Amino acid sequence: MTTQKREYKRDVIIEVSTNLLFPLILLFGLYVMIGTGGTGGGFQGGTILASAFILYITVFGHEKGREKMPESVNAFFKSFGLFLYNGAGWICVLFSLATIQWLNMPAFWPVTDFVGVAGSRSFLVGYMVSVGIGLTVMASFVSQYFDLAWKEEEEMGGNEE
Amino acid sequence: MKPLTIVGLLTSILLLAVAFYAEEDLPAFGDENSAVNKAIKLFTIDADANLVAALNAGTLPEEIKNKIYDLGFIKGPTCEGCQNENYPTLEEGNYKIEYIEEGTWLGGRLYTVGGWDVLINNGEIFYDEPQQYYFITESDGKLSVSRYNWPVRVTERTEEETAMINAVTSGLADYRGYDTMGEETVILTGALGVILLMRRRGKL
C-alpha cells in the first residue's frame, strides 16, 4: 500500500472501516442487482454499487478513487449497460422472442430445444436487462460524483497544473 | 463519395430492413391477443339451454355469479360504509349483457369470436360509462368466462408469460420494457450532460 502525502489529516478509523465495508457493499449491491427473482432490480442495485464507490472516493480522495474506477472502465460500463438492455430487446425483436414485450408474439428462438423458452426468457429478463440497467446507473452516478469532486479539488488548489 | 457516407447509407438500409422485418410481426391494432385487449379466461362450465336463454335475456345466471365470487372477486363493500374499490358487484340492475357478433369492432378491439359482453355501470367508481368486465363465449357445449382487467392478467399470467417469479420485475422489464429503456437513456444522458458541463477545463 503506497502512502501518499495529503494536506488533511489521516483518520485511521474511517479508512479502515471503509476498507472493510467497501467489498461488503459491493456484494450487497450485486445481490440486489442480480437477484431480480426476489429482491431488487437494476436501478436499486446500481445505486448501491455506486454508493460503495462514492464512499471510497469521499474517504480516500479523487486520485485513489480513480485507481478503483478508472475513467476508461467507467465510460465502458456507462455505454455497455445501455447496449446490453437494447441488445436484449433487439434479440427479442429479431427472433420474435417477445421477452421484453417489445413484441407480443409467441416465442420462437433458435436454441429453444436446448435452453427451453421459459429458461431463456427468464434469463434475458432477469440477468441481461437488470445487469444492463445496473451497470449504466452505477457508472453514471460514479462519473457524476467524480466530476463534481474534481471541481472542488480544483478550487482548493490541490491539483494545479 | 466518402467511405463514411457509404457505411452510413448501408447501415441505414440495414436498419430499415430490420424495421420492416420486425413490423411484419407486430400485432395489429385491435388484436385481441395484444397486451391491452387480452381477456383472461377464468373458468368454463357446461353450457345449458337455460343458461344461454338467461344470458340472451340479459341476466347473469346464479351459477356463473357464484363461480366468479368463489374466485375471490368480492361481492360488495367489505365493511360498513366503505366503498367497493375494485370489483363492482354483480347484483341485478348493476350490469347489462350485450351479445356481440363475430367480426365487430368495439372499443379498439376486433372480436374474432362472438360472445356476451357483461358491462357494469353501477358500482363502478372510476368510470361513468359502462365498462366491459366479463366476456362469455360458447363453444363445444361449454361456456367459458373471461375477464378484462390488467391486474388480473398480471396476477394470473405473469409466470406463464414471462417466466419470472417476481411480478414487479416482469412489469418493469417485460410489459413496460420501452419505459425502462427510456429511463435508462435519461440517466445516461444526464451523466453525459454533467461531463460536458463540468469537464471543460480539466483533463480527463
pLDDT in tens, B65-93: 888 877 777 655 556 666 555 566 777 77
Task: Tell me the nearest-neighbour CA distance from B87 into chain A, angstroms.
Answer: 27
What pLDDT is stored for residue A62 in this prediction? 81
Interface test with A, best of B24, B37, B38, B169 (most A CBs within 10 A): B169
Question: Is the Cβ pair A125, B162 closer than 8 Å?
Answer: yes
Q: Average pLDDT, whole number, for chain B?
A: 77
Q: Which residues pair with B118 in a beta bridge?
A: B97, B134
3-state helix, strand, coil in chain A (%, to 5): 75, 0, 25
CA-CA distance, B174 to A121, in Å (whole number)?
10
3-state secondary structure of B46: strand
Query: What is the spatial distance between Cα A17 and Cα A49, in angstroms, rounded to a whole number?
Result: 17
Find where cell 450532460 sits.
B193
CB contact under 8 A, A89 and B181: yes
Q: For residue B175, what are the contacts with CB-CB under 8 A and spacing of at least 6?
A: A101, B35, B154, B162
Spatial distance between the Cα atoms of A97 and A105, rounded to a whole number of angstroms: 7
Is A147 in contact with B22 (Cβ distance < 8 A)? Answer: no
Contact between chains at B177 and A86 (C-beta distance less than 8 A): no
C-alpha cell read off for A141: 452516478
Contacts of A93 in chain B (CB under 8 A): 18, 22
pLDDT digits (tens, 9 = 90+) for A22-52: 999 999 999 998 876 677 788 899 999 999 9
- Coil, strand or helix at A120: helix
Under 8 Å between Cβ of B130 and B98? no
* Chain B residues within an 8 Å CB radius of A43: 183
Q: How far apart are CA A51 and CA A29, in angstroms?
A: 9
The pLDDT score that the predictor gives to residue B87 is: 61
Chain B residue with minimum CA distance to A86: B181
Residue A65 above 80 pLDDT? yes
Chain A residues near residue B35 by CB distance under 8 angstroms: 101, 104
First CA to last CA across chain B, in angstroms? 35
Please answer yes or no on whether A130 and B191 come within 8 Å at the CB atom.
Answer: no
- What is the full per-residue pLDDT of chain B (204 aa) written as tens digits? 899 999 999 999 988 887 776 666 555 555 666 655 667 788 888 888 888 888 888 888 888 888 887 777 765 555 666 655 556 677 777 788 888 888 887 766 777 788 888 887 776 666 677 777 788 888 888 888 888 766 666 777 677 666 677 778 777 777 777 788 889 999 999 999 988 887 765 555
Amino acid at B167: A
Q: Are B118 and B60 a contacting pair, CB within 8 Å?
A: yes
Residues 39-68 of A with CB under 8 A from B: 41, 43
B177 contacts on A by Cβ (under 8 Å): 89, 100-102, 129
∠ CA(B173), CA(A141), CA(A132), 5° rounding?
A: 30
**Range list of β-strands (E), B67-191:** 95-100, 105-106, 109-110, 115-120, 131-139, 142-148
Q: Cα–Cα distances in Å, from A81 out to A128, A136, B120, B149?
A: 9, 5, 46, 34
Q: Does A24 touch chain B (CB under 8 A)?
A: no
Q: Do A101 and B172 touch (CB under 8 A)?
A: no
With CB atoms and an 8 Å threshold, state whether A150 touches B199.
Answer: yes
Backbone angles phi, psi at B160, to 5 degrees: -70, -40
To test the contact with chain A by mutation, choose from B24, B26, B181, B183 the residue with the greatest count of A C-beta atoms within 10 A, namely B181
d(CA A56, CA A8): 16
C-alpha cell at B48: 345449458
| Phi, psi torsion values for B42, nearest 5 degrees | -95, -55
Shortest CA distance from B174: residue in chain A: A100
Q: Do A144 and B204 touch (CB under 8 A)?
A: no
For residue B98, list its beta bridge partners. B117
Give the separation between CA A92 and CA A99, rounded to whole angstroms: 6
